[in-house]
């Protein structure tokens, strides 16, 4: 089983530049209920270190690059997001960590649900218990 679903986002462009439009339930396989972005992450700082019970997310590095470590409780895979036309879809119970942010990194996240703290699993041991039931 592959943990990642990298999809090339449709780029529309000409000599003036490029544009990528994303529509919920069309380009992205869910309704978009929350959008946020991570930027200004200091060198050597890692983020994430959690899983979600139900949330689906599409991660896009709109500037710079970073590594996303994905762990399904049985195998791990690292994806380098480095282009605004590359999306990483994360669905299901997957532990995620974000590492190696470039100085100019802006990581955009489109989420299927509103923020809900009860959807988070923040302890890795608890996460492993849930994935190995």
- Which residues are catalytically annotated? 50
- The helix/strand/coil state of 119 is helix
Please give the order of strands across the beta sheet that includes 34-39.
Answer: 6-8, 86-90, 57-63, 106-111, 34-39
Q: Please, are residues 52 and 108 in contact by the beta-carbon 8 Å criterion?
A: no
How far is Cα 126 from Cα 91, in angstroms, rounded to an integer? Answer: 18
Burial 47-81 (b: 16+ CB within 10 A, else e): eeeebbeebbbbbbbeebbbebbbbbbeeeeebeb
How far is Cα 98 from Cα 86, in angstroms, rounded to an integer? Answer: 16
């Amino acid at each position: 089983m592959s943990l990642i679903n990298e999809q090339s986002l449709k780029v529309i462009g000409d000599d003036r530049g490029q544009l990528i439009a994303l529509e919920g339930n069309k380009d992205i396989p869910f309704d978009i209920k929350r959008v946020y972005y991570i930027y200004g992450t200091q060198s050597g700082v890692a983020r994430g270190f959690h899983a979600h019970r139900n949330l689906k997310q599409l991660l896009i590095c709109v500037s710079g690059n970073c590594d996303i470590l994905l762990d399904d409780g049985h195998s791990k895979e690292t994806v380098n997001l480095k282009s605004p036309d590359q999306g990483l879809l994360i669905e299901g119970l997957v532990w995620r960590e974000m590492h190696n942010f470039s100085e100019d990194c802006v990581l955009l996240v489109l989420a299927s649900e509103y923020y809900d703290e009860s959807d988070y699993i923040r302890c890795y041991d608890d996460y492993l218990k849930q994935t190995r039931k």
